[in-house]
A and B are shown apart, each in its own frame.
Chain A
Amino acid sequence: MASGIEPGAELLRIENISLSFGGVKALTDVSFNIKRGEVRAIIGPNGAGKSSMLNVINGFYHPQVGEVWYCGEKRKGAKPHQIAHQGIARTFQNIALFKGMSTLDNIMTGRSTHMAANMLSQAIWRGTAEKEEIKNRRYVEEIIDFLEIQSIRKTPVGRLPYGLQKRVELGRALAAEPVLLLLDEPMAGMNVEEKEDMSRFILDVQSEFGTTIAIIEHDMGVVMDISDRLVVLDYGKKIGDGTPEEIRNNQAVIDAYLGVPHE
């Protein structure tokens, strides 16, 4: 579906999105776009509606007003799992790993969109099922290698330290070979080294797999470093959009952030 889109061309367009929960407005008339292959940051003070934005993009929330255009097609009420199949993967602000499963299984689950063996062949574990399992295991192993988490391959994720869990979650998202990868505060609560690692991984992902990345992050330093363009939200409204340079000199943004502590 995304194959037609050249790097630099528009991959996703958000048009006048408004979203509210029982009267509470989360997003008001937000519009912006994401170009193929770029790192697009969505920033803003707490409660600015950043996460809601991601939830709209991957179809978990359905805005009352506005349209989402993906790969040049207007989206009509697709379910999250269908959207995942269209090549949008994400990580979550508070880690949403499958606690009962090992690192390997978590990442394998992220691979579901690429597996299709029917129930019968899975039941007897012959033919397509086994082949496909092995094929995808190999791909997953490449991700494990990429994220340097070989040593925790078979550890239940529940036992892993926070930083590693974040990494596994990234791995799970990568396993889907996404066209567009949504990262919701991938570095929240990390120390300097961990943040450096994570930024390195994110940039490597972009260069290795040519993945388009939309990222929410509070650490301004990091965001300004790794992103090509930023959208700034405040109280559900867009108050800025442009390159790190432009954003730095954007009065509205500066005001919005005045007094707002960014960790």
Chain B
Amino acid sequence: MSFTERIRSPEDVRHVKGEMPINFLYTAGIAGEKFLREIKENAKILGVRCRKCDIVHVPPKIYCERCFERLGDWTELESEGRIETFTTCYFDADGSRLAEPEIMAVIRLRGANEGIIHRVREIRDREIHVGIEVKAVFREKRDRMGSVLDITHFEPSAP
């Protein structure tokens, strides 16, 4: 084949373990800072409106990805919305089996044109379907860090 000498014994196969030994510290950015601070301080979810495209982006951005105009028209959204799509996950990010499966969903908040990604709890697997209404459950103020995890999960809105 392409070269003249190959490994012919499994004994001669050699592997070397290694890793990328780095870690990261991210900032939330200009829009993200304002968005997460509002969740932290007031348990409110902010979006930003693009008048040109007539859509409300959430999480907010300093620009509209569609028309690329700069945005600054911040708007407060309700913390309730519809499930756009969902999935039941059986593993964690390491590939280990979860004790209890976890439902992940895209939730389109009322007044927004985009859907935030979060967990859905307090619902049985067979009761969940596309289109049902859910609401955000926030952590207590003293526990909020300014993170998407300040929302612990979404759960079905009261009927």
Partners in one complex: no
Residues of A within 8 A of B (CB): none
